[in-house]
A and B are shown apart, each in its own frame.
Chain A
């Protein structure tokens, strides 16, 4: 190799390693290896040489070219790595700053309870039915064995409209409508709003009930006890202790109230139930010699209050966001 060539190589290598940016490196590449670059010019001087020396000189030039290209490529990788490293250092953030958020709403606790109840009974093969909130006397009372002057009507402080209509006082009329429409056997629950003229810490003039009705061959009281205990265990996600005690509803016989044993040893009334009264079946033209059934009704507010330890029923209808947002 001629002295000038090795000097050129040395100088080029030095220039490459002195580069501190990709841009600089690129101009060094052009300076030596570009079309009019120093190495390229040397190649052009080939024609001036003795033809015998040409192959050797050409080979040397190509080697130099190759060496420099490798050197540049290495340098490029190096510079790139440095650049990424620097950008990473620059980009460090305070990861303790809070994340960017949007508003997230909440479902009303009564809806959550209703959903929960529906889910449990759907899994037990129940259909879900619905009925009007403005009812007539027949479905709300008469068909349920509560005739006109019956003292049991006093148990239901009823809101009336000017005509024969009223706000349903319980979800039981839905069971009548379900039977009228679908006949028997039937296996249905009916959730919904009900209304009574009452307002204090334990009563709101509107509240929610879920009615249940099963009519089939060979349905008896042991089944009623079984399904309600299963339901309560499932709802409270624990093995609960229940107490069935005799009570009175005009549309069931025998009738029972169900009490739940609370943590502090108190019996808390949670639902009413019973075997469907033969007169109710008669009213609907259902043969009570073949069919028997049970019915139950539960207060959704009461179950929700027990589940979450809410003491004042009115909170459900104040719709205070600080209350609602607790039920994630």
Chain B
């Protein structure tokens, strides 16, 4: 809401200091700023939904006088002359929805007269477009009093006005030109034949004021805010009227507003006024509850003792009906004015007291409660462990949106799992919840290459989403991507492109820092977006916890990349930092090393050989090192050479050559027999 400072000034003897007013209002909870429009100072308010009472000049004046002790000239309620007796009978289906409904017929005003300059200017400063005289006056009165008014072309109304709930699927063409389909949740204004508008939100197109209108029905109502709440949003529209009605309009100002409108219209364009026709159901008007305010509770919530006199004066400034009595405790019986819909409970009154007392006047204090220190560092420790390790390995952390385009999300390896689709995405590109972090990393890669980055290593920790039996399922994963060369370009260090094993090594370092390297196995597998033959699943206790592989060359090609990036994704929840480590004392005894060069079929996985050797359970075989793998040259086609080093070491004595020879013999026999391997 925008209000020109000049308008407020009309009510004060001395002009206001606009900057001071803005600051005071801001500190009392009405967020606003001073702007200039057409060289005039205007206060632009961002009102919170609880302060319905401030949606008008009247409301702001009330607030200003409460916070600054300034008294203002109360506008007098005009009583206009009545020229004829015509009314439109009103039928209210449920007075609960509509406790106050007041109308007046005004006939034969001069419809050739345009809105006067002052009116147009004032509305413009308030951010309103001038439409026609009748609508402009209605808007002005709304801004002045907070009461939205509605005007109908009198000729459009057939015999009577009915305020009723809409029928299911009842349609209505409204003023903004759209057709709305309503249901029983909506309150509408209708006549005997047709609906004339959605109550409190917008009128129908045909009943609106046109150039030829010269007689109108003027409506000033109080609708139950609970009936109006959320309805404008359901219709995907918002009007100045609905904004006010759904927050609550003062149920005692309808008559004032209608008289004010009449006065202004008569002044500018004449017209013959009918009598005021009112349907008021006092029992359905909102009642401000009587609230018991305990002095002790103020102290308990705010932490300070405010003198009784001060509390009472604050409540009085806010026009609260306050009684100080002995209720068995020290305190007050308070009733808020009719326009304060937000004051429902004691806590609301405490906020009012704090607000006017000034938050800045409440001191800061330290808690005296028992606090146990630093008990929750696991989460932080884990993140630091991962972050430090991956950064040192050259990976930079990225954060991507959790929603991606449906085509990018195709990277799931499990087609039986459903994705979570957004009902109201910002765009198609952001319409599906990601089920992998790879699409994000790949688009980051493409983005950075376009900005002339050559070597890119990225990682992200984040959630991936799926729908399992129609319920959302989310897990945290950690993903990485490496592209380009192994090293930065430099002298004295040979460079080569990153390959699968560079990234596997990084991943193993990560697993090792969680004590998982020896517990995890890599298995050749396939994955939708990865290169067959260069893809592995990462397995822990027969459960797949992640994937690593080179991007499928087809995808690489689609992304216009020069080489295949290597990517990995790993379940993050399974990584748990070791809580305690046990030191085991060890004595030193020298180790012996024996090397073997093995010739074997290319199809044999090294892991098979290692596992076979390990399965014989050779005593004191401490470690197996693979130090060379090659094909071609003097090796027969379909075969490869693998050189391994075997480290023997005992924890209790020095081993002698004879026993190692025996062990080597066992290994030779085993491997030779089972896997068709020859020793070179």
Contact = CB atoms under 8 A, between A and B. Distances in A.
Interface of A: 97-98, 100-108, 110-111, 115, 118-119, 122-128, 130, 132-134, 148-155, 159-163, 165, 167, 185, 187, 193, 195, 197, 199, 204-206, 214, 216-223, 225-227, 229-230, 243-248, 253-257, 275, 277-279, 292, 316-322, 324-325
Nearest to B397: A108
Contacts of A150: 49, 229-230
B48 A247 contact: yes
B430 interface: yes
B509 to A, nearest CB: 13
Contact of A195 (B350, B402, B488): B402
A222 B362 contact: yes
B322 interface: no
Contacts of B231: 149
A127 B359 CA distance: 28
Interface residues of B, number: 96
B397 A324 contact: yes
A217 B369 CA distance: 8
Contacts of A230: 366
Given A105-B393, A245-B26, A325-B396, 19 more contacts: A100-B493, A106-B396, A108-B398, A122-B376, A123-B374, A125-B371, A152-B49, A154-B49, A154-B238, A159-B425, A161-B423, A193-B462, A205-B401, A220-B365, A222-B365, A248-B29, A317-B400, A318-B447, A321-B451
B465 A134 contact: yes
Given A149-B231, A226-B366, A220 B303 contact: yes
A321 B396 contact: yes
| Most chain A C-beta atoms within 10 Å of own C-beta, residue among B367, B371, B375, B488 | B367
Contacts of A218: 300, 368-369
B393 A244 contact: no
A160 B422 CA distance: 6
A185 B367 CA distance: 13
Interface string B358-401: 01101111111101111111011001100100111111111111
A149 B491 CA distance: 67
A322 B451 contact: yes
Nearest to B461: A111
A245 B27 contact: yes
A318 B448 CA distance: 9
Contacts of B354: 221, 246, 254
B643 interface: no
B49 A199 contact: no
B26 A317 contact: no
B399 A108 contact: yes
User: Could you tell me the dominant secondary structure of chain A's interface residues?
Assistant: mixed
Interface string B395-435: 11111111100000000000000001111111000100100
B233 to A, nearest CB: 6
Contacts of A248: 29, 48-51
Given A104-B394, A319-B399, A122 B29 contact: no
Interface in B444-503: 444, 447-448, 451, 453, 455-459, 462-463, 465, 470, 472, 474, 487-488, 490-493
Nearest to B458: A319
A130 B392 CA distance: 28
Contacts of A107: 387, 391, 397
Contacts of A162: 421, 423
Contacts of B453: 321-322
B359 A256 contact: yes
Contact of B396 (A122, A134, A167, A324): A324
Contacts of B488: 101-103
B517 to A, nearest CB: 21
A161 B422 contact: yes
B302 A132 contact: no
Nearest to A127: B376
B268 to A, nearest CB: 34
B359 A206 contact: no
A109 to B, nearest CB: 9
Given A115-B383, A125-B373, A161-B421, A105 B351 contact: no
